[in-house]
Amino acid sequence: MNARTWCQRVAAGVLVAALAAAAQAGLHLRQGMADNARIAALATGRDITPDADAAASVQAARARFLLSQGKIDEARAIAERLNDAEAAPQRASLLYALGNEHLRQAMQIYLLVPLRQVKPLVNAAKAEYRQALQLDPDNWDCRYNYAIAATLIHETETSKSMIGAQMSHDRAAWPDIPGAPNGMP
């Protein structure tokens, strides 16, 4: 084989590889455009059920749609399916949204119902915030909301137990708070 024939075969091989790469990029672009169309439809309120192998962003958009419809359990099921490393940002965002929904529900009813009915909502919110923070520890909004949820039950327990009760003036009943006069009120 002479040098010219060898160069032609190498050039043909490079051309075939380039065409294959261009075709692959075209398919990837087409899939991305279809995913964006599905996400846009879900954002406008049109329900679209994505395939089981759909992109994580499409599944997360579907879960957010379900949350807006009040279908928390179905949205939670989607969040559980998004457990691979590539879907971690979408799962963290979705867990944060689920936590917000549970906390919102708890805040709406915490003065109206017994504490035992509020606790499961707050505990679910805290669990979802913890999972989201494991995936995205730099999410300060999630940290803040977790702190709110963590203090809500404690504050509610304290305030509901103090309503109508005589406050004891003995030292054992009051914590040692800096600045408080000998622990007394």
User: Is the pLDDT confidence value at 132 over 90?
Assistant: yes
Q: Which fold has domain 34-161?
A: 1.25.40
C-alpha of 100 from chain center: 9
Helices (H) and strands (E) in the chain, counts: 6, 0
Are residues 92 and 139 in contact, defined by beta-carbon separation less than 8 angstroms?
yes
**Tokens 């979705």 label which residue?**
94
63: which residues sit within 8 A by CB, 6+ positions away?
74, 75, 78, 79, 94, 97
pLDDT of residue 181: 52
> Domain spans of the chain?
34-161
Select from 80, 49, 83, 52 the least CA-distant residue to 66.
49
Closest CA to 125 of 76, 160, 178: 76
pLDDT tens digits for range 6-47: 888 888 888 888 888 888 888 877 777 777 878 888 888 878
Query: Judging by beta carbons within 10 Å of its beta carbon (0-12, 13-18, 19+), is residue 96 exposed, middle or buried?
Result: buried
Q: Is 54 exposed, middle or buried (0-12, 13-18, 19+ CB in 10 A)?
A: middle
- Give per-residue pLDDT as tens, 169-181: 444 444 554 554 5
pTM above 0.95, yes or no: no
